[in-house]
Structure 1
Amino acid sequence: MNKLAIDHEYVSRRIIEFMRREVRNSGFEKVILGLSGGIDSSLVAFLAKEAFGKKNVHGVIMPYRTSSPKSEEDALKVAEAAKISWEKVEITNMVDSYFSFFPDASPLRKGNRMARERMCILYDLSARDRSLVMGTGNKTEMYLGYSTQYGDAACALLPIADLYKTQVWSLSEYLGVPKEVIEKKPSADLWEGQTDEGELGFSYHDADDILFELIDRKKDRNEVITLGFKSEVVDSILEKIKNSEFKRRMPKIAYIHDKAK
């Protein structure tokens, strides 16, 4: 049996119940999310539709000039398949205006700026619509640090953050996310030909299997390697977990008064 197999009906029901409870406890009825055309935002859109009804879910497509046209096409397919409202906000002028002051900025800086610009837009539109911002990060990306602090990692709720990437694919298929979105290679779409797995240096399937052993089964490095995983991949994942720990923490407070702790 696949150790990462999930009960689709149970998991989707739990996530939907979580979304309803947390959104309504916060005093909201509507939600908003960025639609990238990728699998994670697509799954959250479908779950949100089930939780709140199509009239209460709004997707925002935010392309940059180097974004693949296919990403926008897929985002539109998802919005249409989920029957949710959507709008497009082009971020090219916003990002390029800033980097006109820093023409030698690295691709990392530009990618981070794009992610933060998109989240700024979502929060502004959430104030316009009185809606809550949904995050779309999954467990694999969060532990590998494959997210931007105060960019895609900023949100009110993280509905699929306890699902590994392979579980996201599986649940997406169960819920009817468009097939072409499920089957395409994951990409942050930061430049032409960029893929998540190409940047990471290993596949999501390997990452999920290793992370499951390290996190869920609490095995150490040597125990995981004895299961047949390559030591260099295990070491790379352990390093990424360690180096991205700061992204998974709330800001530290320098407590001055003992009673404030």
Structure 2
Amino acid sequence: MPRITLENLVRIDYDYVTQRIIDFIRSYVKDSGATGAIIGLSGGVDSSVTAYLLVKALGKDNVIGLILPYKTTPPEDIRDAKYVAENLEIKYYYIDIGKIRNAFVESIPVFDESDKIATGNLLPRIRMTILYYFANRFNKVVVGTGDKSELLIGYFTKYGDGGVDILPIGDLYKTQVRYLGKYLGLPDSIAFKPSSPRLWEDQTAEGELGVKYEDIDVILHALIDYRMNTEQAAEATGKPIELVQTVWRRVLNTEHKRKMPIVPRISMRTLGIDWRMPVNKTGVSEFME
């Protein structure tokens, strides 16, 4: 059984990774007929790394950044988001979403500030709406910033920061993204900043999850990439079996976030189950001829 360590996990070819993602972005944007990309800039490592990759792929004139703070957003995050936009020389817009959130508070009769999850999730959903407005307005794609760790454990808001067109760093674990950031020239203050969606005061990802990303990543690497069971993963990583089971439980319980809405089978061919667009021998859809 292989020994799985953080050192081995982050020892990847970042030159290859960078070029692979650049090619992916260029191909998707070209095929979509869009003129570029829209990205939300939070000042964190994921959005910063993704922004750097977008500029490498599309050029600074084809990328627009949106800084969308709320009162729970620390000043240092706003500063870092502006630093990234200005360092990359991309056009960016600063939009405080406080008034928009207040409109929800005033309009929803059952609004309850004490419901931390329901109220917190409003923020990324408001941001998603603004991102897509800009995407529609300027014919661009919305680029997500989620990494493999967050996607697997479901640490994102459904139809919030999870509502995007592409996820360029979605096959890189959080710790790999940090080292990719270093490779791309991000300062340590951003590359190794503690992650947080900032949905409420003093929120941090690791504080909420109760486990460090360094541990999450090696455990996921064992469970997902090596297809180990929880007992094997605990042995291979040297992590407590209870911790491994906790991480695996998060993967299982958040599967719904990684799927399209489920459709019940009624007809002979059902969307999301066994339906696909029929094509003729030339590869053109029969419905498009």
- Map 1:38-77; keep pairs closer than 5 Å: 38-77=44-83
Deviations 1:201-251 (A, max 9, x none): 010000000000000000001111223111221111011001100000111
Residue 103 and residue 172 in structure 1: after superposition, are their counterparts in 2 closer, same or farther (change >3 A)? same
- Map 1:185-200; keep pairs closer than 5 Å: 185-200=194-209
Contact 1:79–1:85, Cα closer than 8 Å, also in 2: yes
Secondary structure at 2:155 match in 1: coil
CA distance in 1, matches of 2:231, 2:169: 29
Q: List structure 1 segments (4+ residues) > 6 angstroms apart after TM superposition.
A: none
- Map 1:99-110; keep pairs closer than 5 Å: 99-100=105-106, 101=109, 102-110=111-119
Secondary structure at 1:12 match in 2: helix
Mean alpha-carbon deviation: is it higher for 72-81 or for 91-100? 91-100
AA aligned to 1:52 is L
Q: Which residue of 2 aligns with 1:83?
A: 89
CA distance in 2, matches of 1:124, 1:29: 15
Q: Which residue of 2 aligns with 1:34?
A: 40
Q: Which residue of 1 aligns with 2:17?
A: 11
Point out where structure 2 has 5 or more consecutive residues left out of the alignment. Answer: 1-6, 276-289
AA aligned to 1:246 is H
CA distance in 1, matches of 2:41, 2:128: 12
Q: Which residue of 1 aligns with 2:103?
A: 97
CA distance in 2, matches of 1:114, 1:80: 25
CA distance in 2, matches of 1:259, 1:149: 27
Q: Which residue of 1 aligns with 2:192?
A: 183
Residue 110 and residue 196 in structure 1: after superposition, are their counterparts in 2 closer, same or farther (change >3 A)? same
Contact 1:187–1:194, Cα closer than 8 Å, also in 2: yes
Secondary structure at 1:255 match in 2: coil
TM-score, structure 2 normalization: 0.87
Deviations 1:147-167 (A, max 9, x none): 001000111111000000001
Point out where structure 1 has 5 or more consecutive residues left out of the alignment. Answer: none
Secondary structure at 1:29 match in 2: coil
Q: Which residue of 2 aligns with 1:239?
A: 249
Deviation, structure 1 residue 38:
0.6
Contact 2:72–2:200, Cα closer than 8 Å, also in 1: yes
CA distance in 2, matches of 1:98, 1:259: 40
Deviations 1:119-171 (A, max 9, x none): 00000011111111001000000111100010001111110000000010011
1:258 aligned to 255, 259, 268, which one?
Answer: 268
Secondary structure at 1:60 match in 2: strand
AA aligned to 1:189 is R
Q: Which residue of 1 aligns with 2:3?
A: none
Is residue 2:148 matched to residue 1:151?
no
CA distance in 1, matches of 2:134, 2:86: 20
Residue 219 and residue 167 in structure 1: after superposition, are their counterparts in 2 closer, same or farther (change >3 A)? same
Kindly, what percent of the aligned residue pairs are identical? 42
Secondary structure at 2:9 match in 1: coil
Q: Which residue of 1 aligns with 2:233?
A: 224
AA aligned to 2:72 is T
Secondary structure at 1:224 match in 2: helix
CA distance in 2, matches of 1:35, 1:148: 16
CA distance in 2, matches of 1:166, 1:39: 10
Contact 1:207–1:237, Cα closer than 8 Å, also in 2: yes
